[in-house]
Structure 1
């Protein structure tokens, strides 16, 4: 008796990317793509996101980056089931400092050093490190139903991913302490009111609003925009005299770039400028 022929083996399905990428008119949108886990971070997600940002930084066609999340969350922070951080009975404690140094710090530094503006489109909850990553972007636009949660104290930790630097500078020490110590959910509307984020919009307006903002930024002199980011951050650590000197140094650099000449010429000719520097 002959054997029945075996069924053909189905081709292996390629794993879906953890970061989705789409580009239009100089704007690159990067979407965290772990919706079932509220886009929480794993080492694999870190690696893909950092690689995508590095590629964007090296691509002269990219003039603005939008960072958002798939599904109903922006990012719920660290996935506590990730072997890199999950405590194990009978095993030595995980070195969370090493996780920050290896994964979160490079991501935060990359966002802050991007040669183009970065906009966070917060479509849902941004918790823990997810909130810090959003706030570390240049501008944050959030859907009205979105929320920000400094969840660290609830599991015996402190704000990381730049949270201790960002929070007091954005909202002052008293509010920063209240947010970090209590870990309460903060709605997007209140986040805008206290100056934590740039803008809160109705949910159905989030994508159009972010698209319009990113397109506007992409059409501006992005080298100057990045210089503004750097000068403002540096001035936080300077006295008055050093800030004035830094402004002079930055203006010397920008004033020798083609965008300055184009801006002045367009102003004189009463036309829209065509900025190219990056």
Structure 2
């Protein structure tokens, strides 16, 4: 059985981490399949929104702790460990930096360590009521190796981020919503229906505008306000020439619902 499932339907691609008996912990094979799936999402214009979730009762437990222990006992050198991160684990966030389409994460259960970090990489995050979140690195004498120390303060603020990183305690789905870690918490049996309802809205929307809006927001995190305004002006020029913009303005004048084609 494949360690990662990849399906496409109706403009939506679904990536499912598929090692439920191992808490969907990463393997090198899973990470390679994950990157390949993301690259297909980047290049396939028929895909207009991407959904990530986990199989079974756990979203993702991150790295395989047993394998870490074996590597340490076997004398794995610091350079080898660092290289594994950069050559495999970090390929996911780096590839996501190239994805300007909506990336929704449906957290169906516990998200811990690097598994939580992978959840943080979503543009929007929805959590089942039974989901829990913890930066558990400290529990095994480790540090956040998959971007959590960079992403978490930007989502929940510095003091709360340090509390989660230093203590490694679990945060409930309800608390995660309260502090801005997830967009919304829904009953377990409604998680995927809710996620796909949002994905369908995005997939049927004006694709160019949606993609440019994501680029504008991401660039704004590292640029000045003046640069942001300049980029916005360029994006307005591009989007004003799209078929979807013409359709939207015509539909407004004709008092009907627009039908977007993603062009």
* Correspondence for 1:77: 62
Shift of 1:219: 0.9
Structure 1 SS opposite 2:126: strand
The equivalent position to 2:233 in structure 1, one of 248, 251, 266, is: 248
Are residues 89 and 26 of structure 1, via their aligned partners in 2, closer, same or farther at CA, if it must alter by over 3 Å?
Answer: closer
* Correspondence for 1:205: 190
Shift of 1:250: 2.1
Shift of 1:90: 4.6
The equivalent position to 2:14 in structure 1, one of 3, 26, 29, is: 29
* Correspondence for 2:43: 58
Shift of 1:54: 1.5
Asked if structure 2 preserves the Cα contact closer than 8 Å seen for 1:85 and 1:94, the reply is no
2:252 corresponds to 1:271: no
TM-score (norm 1): 0.88
Structure richer in helix, relative to its length: 2
Structure 2 SS opposite 1:137: coil
- Of 196-205 and 255-264, the range deviating more from structure 2: 255-264
Runs of 4+ in 1 over 3 A off after TM superposition: 81-85, 89-94
Shift of 1:94: 6.0
Are residues 89 and 47 of structure 1, via their aligned partners in 2, closer, same or farther at CA, if it must alter by over 3 Å?
Answer: closer
Structure 1 SS opposite 2:65: coil
* Correspondence for 2:169: 184
Structure 1 residues 11-34: Cα deviation after superposition (integer angstroms, max 9, x where no partner): xxxxx1111123332212111100
Asked if structure 2 preserves the Cα contact closer than 8 Å seen for 1:112 and 1:136, the reply is no
Asked if structure 2 preserves the Cα contact closer than 8 Å seen for 1:43 and 1:84, the reply is no
Structure 1 residues 128-163: Cα deviation after superposition (integer angstroms, max 9, x where no partner): 111111111111001010011111122233223221
- Of 118-127 and 103-112, the range deviating more from structure 2: 103-112
Paired positions, count: 263
Asked if structure 1 preserves the Cα contact closer than 8 Å seen for 2:100 and 2:212, the reply is no
Structure 2 SS opposite 1:272: coil
* Correspondence for 1:128: 113
* Correspondence for 2:29: 44
Asked if structure 1 preserves the Cα contact closer than 8 Å seen for 2:103 and 2:124, the reply is yes
Shift of 1:85: 7.8
Asked if structure 2 preserves the Cα contact closer than 8 Å seen for 1:192 and 1:200, the reply is yes
Structure 1 SS opposite 2:71: coil
* Correspondence for 1:165: 150
TM-score (norm 2): 0.92
Structure 1 residues 77-108: Cα deviation after superposition (integer angstroms, max 9, x where no partner): 01133479831245534633212211122211
Are residues 174 and 269 of structure 1, via their aligned partners in 2, closer, same or farther at CA, if it must alter by over 3 Å?
Answer: same
- Of 225-234 and 81-90, the range deviating more from structure 2: 81-90
The equivalent position to 1:220 in structure 2, one of 179, 199, 205, is: 205
Ranges in structure 2 where 5+ consecutive residues have no aligned partner: none
Shift of 1:211: 1.6
Structure 1 residues 35-91: Cα deviation after superposition (integer angstroms, max 9, x where no partner): 011101111100111111212222222211110000111110011334798312455
- Of 52-61 and 182-191, the range deviating more from structure 2: 52-61
Structure 1 SS opposite 2:127: strand
Q: Could you say which structure has the larger radius of gyration?
A: 1
2:206 corresponds to 1:234: no
